[in-house]
Amino acid sequence: MAELLVNRGIETPEQAYSFLCPSLKNLTDPFCLKDMNKAVNRIWTAIENHEKILIFGDFDADGVTSTSILNDFFTYIDAEVSWYVPHRTKEGYSLKKDHIAMAVERRTDLIITVDCGSDSNEAVVAAQEEDIDVIITDHHELPENIPEALAIINPKRKDCNSGLTHLAGVGVAFYLVIALRKHLREKGFWEEKQEPNLIQYCDLVAIGTIADMVPLKKENRILSCAGIDVMKKGARPGLKALSQVSRVELTDIDSDDISFRIAPRLNAAGRISHARICVNLLCTNDRITAEQTAATLDGLNRKRQETEQSIIEDIEKKIYKNPELINKPAIIMYDRSWVPGVLGIAASKTAKKYFKPVILISTGSSPAVGSCRSIENINLYHALNKCSFLLEKFGGHFMAAGLSIKKEKIKDFSKAFEKEIAEIMSKNDFKKTLILDHALMPCEITESLINEVDMLRPFGTDNPEPVFYCSDLMVQSSVQIGTKHRKMILKKSGCTIEAMQFNIKNPETPVSFKKIAFKLRINRFGRKNSPQIIIIEEE
């Protein structure tokens, strides 16, 4: 365990205790965030004067959880609140000038953005002309010229010294709620109304944080651990219903369940239909409504999977016909038929398979829109910024971004982007590697050890699940499961261990393994709770 902690940069007993026993008491003061005071003072004025507040969100899991948290809190304090999430394809990402006209129709006095807005210069100017104040809460990279909003709460601001750059959009939104609750306390607001325990919102913070793949360290780890504990209690009808259609047992839910079952269904709405469905689900207190909405999301996710698979098959066909595509520094493809909302997932899988940045562009609209995914050590946002003169618009993170571009500029952009990536790659050695944490013999793999390793959960970005290795194992028995999986009993030095191997390439059962890399599991099938390993690489 000590070695696993050191491998993750935890090198003192104090750091180990803080990591293994995450506490909400260790959260950074929200008022360390630049403009937080400005924001809570303006919101207090809006509450006091019964002004109309509009929460403007984003269409991914981070955005809808952020929107839901603010909507829940403002509803609880009886503020004049409404919310809006744009349509991914028809409106695109972030607050735009056209949205201000909608806000005027709603007689809005104050707009609060969540998980977006850092590049909404034109929209902020239009809002000022209509006497609407704008508070931006976001975590995306900022342009050189930031909007002249009343407040911009973004830890990535150059003049923000909070040290919270790792937060997801939902983390920033939650920090606003923490600060606002304290400000309301100082104003005596809670003397006539019970002060809420904000831990109830941590379930949404955990989902948005884990789904957005931000580093699971410091505040993100604290909030995610607290949120998973809240989820296990099943108090939120929407999440309870969503877990049921996702075939997730809430009492045992973990980050893997959020990443691969819960988040995809929340993201499916924005990709295939409209993300407002998700906010309705997460904010409802009605069980029947929650179950019906969760069933809708499950159906949309199946449709998303089919659409995604079609795009991936199309990508493989293009590569088969033009194999030189994978020899370039980056894979850039475009097609008129591709559904824009699903391109991000297809790009992510392609980037993992070929281990290079991938940009997929749908040319079915004007301008064309694309999704970009990167690999470790290549800052996608900075590379796009160098080519921004060829783009209509772009935004995002180190690893993921979106863009819009005129069709006639795609080829020139491809050349410029490939040149930028080539220069980055020439300075580093970009070989795909597998980090191995520790050698383990079969006799050392016990339920007790696995329970200790599980103390490192939730796993995710910057806190990967430990990978162990062992050499010279004999295959004592093997059973084929379907056409792609096998279950084996492996033996070394008189000890055996049950092993699962998924997506096997060779159907012939091996006699032995020279070396394997694996992860640890408890096999709970049949309630036997026996140690098991999952083989992820073999020699």
For residues 201 and 171, the answer to whether their CB atoms sit within 8 Å is: no
Write out the chain's pLDDT in tens, 539 residues: 999 999 999 999 999 999 999 999 999 999 999 999 999 999 999 999 999 999 999 999 999 999 999 999 999 999 999 999 999 888 988 999 999 999 999 999 999 999 999 999 999 999 999 999 999 999 998 988 999 999 999 999 999 999 999 999 999 999 999 999 999 999 999 998 999 999 999 999 999 999 998 999 999 999 999 999 999 999 999 999 999 999 999 999 999 999 999 999 999 999 999 999 999 999 999 999 999 999 999 999 999 999 999 999 999 999 999 999 999 999 999 999 999 999 999 999 999 999 999 999 999 988 999 999 998 778 899 999 999 999 998 988 888 899 999 999 999 999 999 999 998 887 665 677 888 999 999 999 999 999 999 999 999 888 999 999 999 999 999 998 887 899 999 999 999 999 999 988 777 888 999 999 999 998 877 556 789 999 999 98
- Whether 443 and 414 map to the same domain: the answer is no
Q: Do 399 and 467 have their domain in common?
A: no
DSSP for 9-58, written as a single string: T--SHHHHHHHHS--GGGPPPGGGSTTHHHHHHHHHHHHHTT-EEEEE--
Any domain includes 381? yes
Is residue 21 one of the residues assigned to a domain?
A: no
Q: What is the pLDDT of residue 205?
A: 98
- Whether 303 is covered by a domain: the verdict is no
Kindly report the CATH number assigned to the domain that includes residue 397: 3.10.310.30
446 and 350 within one domain: no
pLDDT of residue 366: 87
Query: What pLDDT, on the 0 to 100 scale, is given for residue 510?
Result: 87
Which H helix or E strand runs over 179? helix 169-186
**How far is the C-alpha of 515 from the C-alpha of 470, rounded, in Å?**
6
Task: Give me the pLDDT at residue 430, please.
Answer: 65
Classify residue 10: in a domain, yes or no.
Answer: no
Domain span at 530: 438-538
Which of these three, 395, 426, 457, is where a domain ends?
A: 426
Q: Is 418 in the same domain as 347? A: yes
CATH of residue 500:
2.40.50
Total of domains in the chain = 3
Q: What pLDDT sits at residue 509?
A: 82
Within this chain, do residues 123 and 92 fall inside the same structural domain, yes or no? yes
* Residue 89: predicted pLDDT: 85
Q: Are residues 404 and 522 in the same domain?
A: no
**Report field, pTM of the whole predicted structure over 0.75:** yes
- Domain co-membership, 102 together with 243: yes
Residue 3 within any structural domain of the chain: no
Q: Among residues 426, 458, 475, which one ends one of the domains?
A: 426
Query: Is 433 part of any domain?
Result: no
CA separation for the pair 160, 158 (Å, rounded)? 6
Bridge partners of residue 521, in order along the sequence: 532
For 409, the token pair is 């500029």
Examine the domain organization and report whether 105 and 234 are in the same domain: yes
Residues 442 and 364 in one domain: no
End residue of a domain, out of 426, 455, 484: 426
Q: Are residues 81 and 157 in the same domain?
A: yes
Whether residue 98 is found in the same domain as residue 143: yes
Distance CA 214, CA 220 (A): 8
CATH number at residue 130: 3.90.1640.30
Q: Is the residue at 301 inside a domain?
A: no
In a domain, 6, yes or no: no
Same domain (yes/no): 234, 124: yes
pLDDT at 457: 93
Q: Which of 215, 134, 203 is nearest to 168 (CA)?
A: 215
